[in-house]
Chains A and B, each alone.
Chain A
Amino acid sequence: MVENRPWLTVATHVVLVIGVLIVAFPIYVTFVASTHSLFDLVRIPMPVLPGSHMVENYLQAISAGLGEASGTAAVGAGRMMFNSLVMALGIAGGKIAISIIAAFAIVYFRFRFRMVAFWMIFITLMLPVEVRILPTYKVVADLGMLDTYGGLIIPLIASATATFMFRQVFMAVPDELAEAARIDGAGPLRFFWDVLLPLSRTNIAALFVILFIYGWNQYLWPLLITTDPEMVTIVISINRMLSVGDDQAEWQIAMATTMLAMLPPVLVVVFMQRLFVKGLVETEK
C-alpha cells in the first residue's frame, strides 16, 4: 500500500475474507450435506453443521453408489474415479506427446506442406466438440470406440494450444545448441531426446497440470459416448444420481460423490499452484 491508512487495510482484509468465504460457501454446504443421513437432510431447514454419517455415506458412495435399489447398476465412485483418472491422464499425456513431436517437426525441419500442417492444427482451435457433436459421435461409433477408454481419450487429444506452446519453447532455444549437437554427430531424434526434452521439463509439467484438470472435468464427450455404467466418469455420474424423477434423490450419496469428484483436481491446483499458474499463463499466450 502506498499510504498508511490502517482503517483501509482492515476494511480490505474484511472484504477479502468475505470474498473467500462466499467462494468457499458452496463447498461447505455440499460437505455438510454429504455427512448427514437423508432423513436429517430433508428436514427443513437443512442442517448447517456437519453430521455423523460421513464415514458410511462416503463408503457407500465409493463402493456401491446408489446401489441396486435405485435401479441403476451398483457402480461405485471408486470405479468411476478410476475411469476419470484414466481419461485425465490419457488426455494430458496424449496431448503433450503428440503436440511436442508436432512442434518439433514444425520448428526444426523444412519440408513441403509445413504451413498446411500448421494451419490444420490451428483450425482445431475453432472446432470444439460442441459444434460437431453428431458427426464426431458417428465417427467414433463407426470405429467401434463407444464405451472404451480409447474413445474417451483419442478424439480429444489433438491440441493447437499445446503445439503452439511447445513451438514457443523451442523457438527460444538457442540455435547454437542445435549446431553443437549436429557437429557432435547427433541426429534430430537424439537432439530432441537429450536436449529439447530436458529443456522443456517445467513447461511439460505445467501443461500437464492444466490438461489433467481439463481431462478430469470433461462433460459433454463422456456423456455422449458412455452408456455402460462401468465406463461412466465421476463428473457425469452425479447428474444421473439426481435425475430420479418423482423419487426422493439420495442427496447425501450424490453430495459425497460430488466431493470425491472435486477432490483430485482441487488438490492438484492447491499443491501444484506454481506449475498451475505457469501453465495457465503459458497456454494463453
Chain B
Amino acid sequence: MEKRVVFRNPVLPYLLLAPQLIVTLVFFIWPAFQALKQSVLLEDPFGLRSRFVWLENFEYLFANAQYLDSLSITAVFSVSVAALALSVALYLAVQADRVVKAAAVYKTLLIWPYAVAPAVAGILWLLMFNPTLGILAYALRSLGYDWNHQVNGDQAMVLVVVAAAWKQISYNFLFFLAGMQAIPRSLIEAAAIDGAGPARRFWTIVFPLLTPTTFFLLVINIVYAFFDTFGIIHAVTQGGPAGATNILVYKVFNDGFIGLDLGGSAAQSVILMAIVIGLTVIQFRFIERKVHY
C-alpha cells in the first residue's frame, strides 16, 4: 500500500526520521550488537583482555544444570500464566456476553487491573500470602495446609503464577468480550431455534469462531509471561527459594548485573533475543494483521 500523492524534499524526511533512528541505533541496535559480540568472547577475571571462544559460552550454558532448570521453570511458568489468565478471562467474558446490557458495567469493574504494574501486582499477592501476616496464608493454615512460599518452591511458583495471571485477566477479558460481541447474533439464534442450549452453542459456535482471538491472546500472554513478569519475580521471590522461580529474564539480570558474568549473560541475552524474534515472527506471520509493510 503506497500513497499516490507524496512530497518531495531532499533533507526533510531524514530530519523527521532522525530522532527515532538515533534512539534506535544508540539504545537498541548498538547494545544488541554488543551483546552478540560479548556472547562469543571470554573475558579474563580483571576485564582487561578478552578472547574469541566461538560458541563456548553457549555450550557452557547448555551444559549448565541451573540454566536448563531455568528454561523448564520458564516454560512451566509461562504456560501456567497463559492457561490461567486465558481460561478465567474467557469464562468471565462468556458470562458478561450473556447479560448484554450489564456487560459494559462488568467491563468497567474488571479492566482496571491492567493499570497495575506487574511488580505492584506481585506485592498485592505477597501481602495476602505472607507466611506471618497474610490473610490467605492464615486461612490455609487454619485448614491444615502449611503455606510458606519462602521455603517451598512449588508454593512460590503458584504465588507468582497467580499474581502474574491476575494482572493479565483484564486484558484477555477485554479482547474475548469484543471477539464475542462481533459474532453475529443470527448464528446464535439459529442454533437456539434448533434446540442447542447455552453450553452446546458455546462449544460448537462461539468457541470455534473465537479461535483467532484466542490464538492472538495466547501469543500475547506468552510474551507477557516471558518478558513483562520480571517485576513480579524481583519483587516477590527474587528467583527463589533455591532457584524455584528463576525465570530466564530474571536469571539474565541476576547473572549479568549482580553476578557480573559478562559472557554467560550475553549468551543468555542472545538466546532470549532468538525467542523474541521467534514469537514476533509468529505474531506477524500467523495472526491476521492490518499492518502492511
Task: Assess whether B120 is in contact with A213, with CB atoms less than 8 Å apart.
Answer: no
Q: How far is it, in angstroms, between the C-alpha of A97 and the C-alpha of B20 when the chains are bound?
A: 9
Which residues B73-99 have CB closer than 8 A to chain A?
88, 91-92, 95-96, 98-99
**In the complex with contacts A98-B23, A128-B276, A158-B28, A30-B269 CB distance below 8 A:** no
Q: How far is it, in angstroms, between the C-alpha of A284 and the C-alpha of B235 when the chains are bound?
A: 28
Q: Mark B20-32, 1 if CB is under 8 A from A, else 0.
A: 1101111111111
A213 to chain B, nearest CB (A): 5
Task: Assess whether A251 is in contact with B293, with CB atoms less than 8 Å apart.
Answer: no
Tell me whether chain B's interface is mostly helix, strand or loop, or mixed.
helix
**In the complex with contacts A3-B192, A111-B14, A158-B5 CB distance below 8 A:** no
B116: nearest residue on chain A (CB-CB)? A262
Contact of B34 (CB < 8 Å), options: A135, A216, A236: A135
Task: Assess whether A13 is in contact with B99, with CB atoms less than 8 Å apart.
Answer: yes
B158 is an interface residue with CB less than 8 A from chain A: no
- B147: chain A residues at CB < 8 Å are none
Q: How far is it, in angstroms, between the C-alpha of A229 and the C-alpha of B99 when the chains are bound?
A: 50
Task: Assess whether A269 is in contact with B115, with CB atoms less than 8 Å apart.
Answer: yes
B220 to chain A, nearest CB (A): 8
B25: nearest residue on chain A (CB-CB)? A120
Q: How far is it, in angstroms, between the C-alpha of A41 and the C-alpha of B35 when the chains are bound?
A: 47
Q: How far is it, in angstroms, between the C-alpha of A141 and the C-alpha of B22 when the chains are bound?
A: 17
B262: nearest residue on chain A (CB-CB)? A134
The listed residue with most A CB atoms (<10 A of its CB), out of B32, B188, B227, is B32
Q: How far is it, in angstroms, between the C-alpha of A281 and the C-alpha of B276 when the chains are bound?
A: 21
Task: Assess whether B231 is in contact with A98, with CB atoms less than 8 Å apart.
Answer: no
Contact of B133 (CB < 8 Å), options: A44, A139, A140, A285: A44
Q: How far is it, in angstroms, between the C-alpha of A280 and the C-alpha of B135 when the chains are bound?
A: 34
Q: Mark A141-155, 1 if CB is under 8 A from B, else 0.
A: 000000000000011
Q: How far is it, in angstroms, between the C-alpha of A13 and the C-alpha of B96 when the chains are bound?
A: 8
A21: nearest residue on chain B (CB-CB)? B109
Residues of B within 8 Å of A, CB-based: how many? 101
A31 to chain B, nearest CB (A): 10
The listed residue with most A CB atoms (<10 A of its CB), out of B17, B19, B114, is B17
A171 is an interface residue with CB less than 8 A from chain B: yes
Task: Assess whether A46 is in contact with B6, with CB atoms less than 8 Å apart.
Answer: no
B176 is an interface residue with CB less than 8 A from chain A: no
Contact of B276 (CB < 8 Å), options: A126, A138, A171: A126
A124 is an interface residue with CB less than 8 A from chain B: yes
B34: nearest residue on chain A (CB-CB)? A135
- A138: chain B residues at CB < 8 Å are 31, 34
Tell me whether chain A's interface is mostly helix, strand or loop, or mixed.
helix
A69 is an interface residue with CB less than 8 A from chain B: no
A268 is an interface residue with CB less than 8 A from chain B: yes
Residues of A within 8 Å of B, CB-based: how many? 109
B273 to chain A, nearest CB (A): 5
Task: Assess whether A126 is in contact with B277, with CB atoms less than 8 Å apart.
Answer: yes
Q: Which 8 A-B pairs have the closest CB atoms?
A: A135-B31, A217-B117, A219-B231, A135-B34, A265-B115, A105-B16, A26-B124, A109-B13
Give me the interface of B with A, judged by CB distance under 8 Å. 1, 3-9, 12-14, 16-17, 19-21, 23-32, 34-35, 38, 88, 91-92, 95-96, 98-100, 102, 106, 108-121, 123-128, 132-135, 138, 166, 169-171, 174, 178, 185, 188-189, 192, 198, 201, 216, 220, 227, 230-231, 234-235, 249, 252-253, 256-257, 262, 265-266, 269, 272-273, 276-277, 280, 289-291, 293
A/B interface sample: 28 pairs, CB < 8 A: A8-B98, A16-B102, A23-B170, A30-B124, A44-B133, A97-B19, A98-B19, A101-B16, A101-B17, A108-B6, A117-B21, A120-B21, A121-B20, A121-B21, A125-B280, A134-B262, A135-B32, A136-B31, A138-B31, A168-B290, A178-B3, A178-B6, A182-B5, A242-B123, A251-B133, A262-B117, A266-B112, A270-B108
Using A12-B98, A121-B21 as known contacts, list a sample of 8 further A-B pairs with CB atoms less than 8 Å apart, ordered by residue number in A. A24-B109, A44-B138, A101-B20, A134-B266, A242-B235, A266-B115, A273-B111, A285-B290
